[in-house]
A and B are shown apart, each in its own frame.
Chain A
Amino acid sequence: MTRFLLARLVQSVAVLVVMSFVIYGLIGLMPGDPIDLMINADPKMTSEDATRLRALYGLDKPIIERYGNWLKAALTADLGYSRLHAKPVLEVLGPALGNTIVLLGLSFLLSLAIGLPAGIAAALRPYSRSDYAINFLAFAGISVPAFWLALLLIIVFAVFLGILPASGTGTIGAAGFWESAKYVVLPVANLTIASAGGHTRYMRAAMIETLRQDYIRTARAKGASQTRVVFRHALRNAMIPVVTVVALNFGYLFSGALITETIFAYPGMGKLIFDAIMGNDFNLALVALLFATVLTLAGNLLADLTYAWLDPRISYQ
Chain B
Amino acid sequence: MTDGPLLEGRDLVKHFPVRHAGSFGTSHGTVHAVDSVNFHVNRGETLALVGESGCGKTTLAQTAALLHRPTSGSVHFKGQDVSGLGRHAIKSVRRRIQMIFQDPYGSLNPRLPVGDIIAEPLVIHKIGDKAERRRRVARLAESVGLRPPDMVRYPHQFSGGQRQRIAIARAIALEPALVIADEPVSALDVSIQSQVINLLKDLQDNFGLTYLFVSHDLAVVRQFADRVAVMYLGTIVEEAATDELFAAPRHPYTRALIASAPVVGKGKRRPGNVLQGDVPSPLQPPPGCRFHTRCPMAEDICRKSAPALESNEYGAGHRAACHFKDGDQP
Contacts and interface: CB of A to CB of B under 8 A. Distances in A.
Interface of A: 3-4, 7-8, 11, 304, 313-317
A4 B25 contact: yes
Contacts, number: 22
Interface in B7-28: 21-25, 27
A314 B24 contact: no
Interface residues of B, number: 6
A255 to B, nearest CB: 24
A314 B24 CA distance: 11
Interface centre among B21, B23, B24, B27 (most CB of A within 10 A): B24
A315 B21 contact: yes
Interface of B: 21-25, 27
A232 to B, nearest CB: 25
Contacts of A317: 22, 25, 27
A168 B27 CA distance: 53
Contacts of A4: 22, 24-25
A296 B183 CA distance: 49
B27 to A, nearest CB: 8
Query: Main SS of the interface on chain A?
Result: helix
A314 B25 contact: no
Given A314-B22, A315-B22, A317-B25, 13 more contacts: A3-B25, A4-B25, A7-B24, A7-B25, A11-B24, A304-B23, A315-B21, A316-B22, A316-B23, A316-B24, A316-B25, A317-B22, A317-B27
Nearest to A1: B25
A221 to B, nearest CB: 26
Contacts of B27: 317
A313 B25 contact: no
A7 B26 CA distance: 12
Nearest to A314: B21
Contacts of B24: 3-4, 7-8, 11, 316
Nearest to A304: B23
B191 to A, nearest CB: 27
A3 B24 CA distance: 9
B208 to A, nearest CB: 46
Contacts of B25: 3-4, 7, 316-317
Contacts of A316: 22-25
B225 to A, nearest CB: 35
Kindly list the 4 A-B residue pairs having the minimum CB-CB distance in the complex, ordered from nearest: A7-B24, A316-B22, A4-B24, A3-B25
A313 to B, nearest CB: 7
A311 to B, nearest CB: 10
A16 to B, nearest CB: 17
Nearest to A3: B25
B74 to A, nearest CB: 38
A294 to B, nearest CB: 19
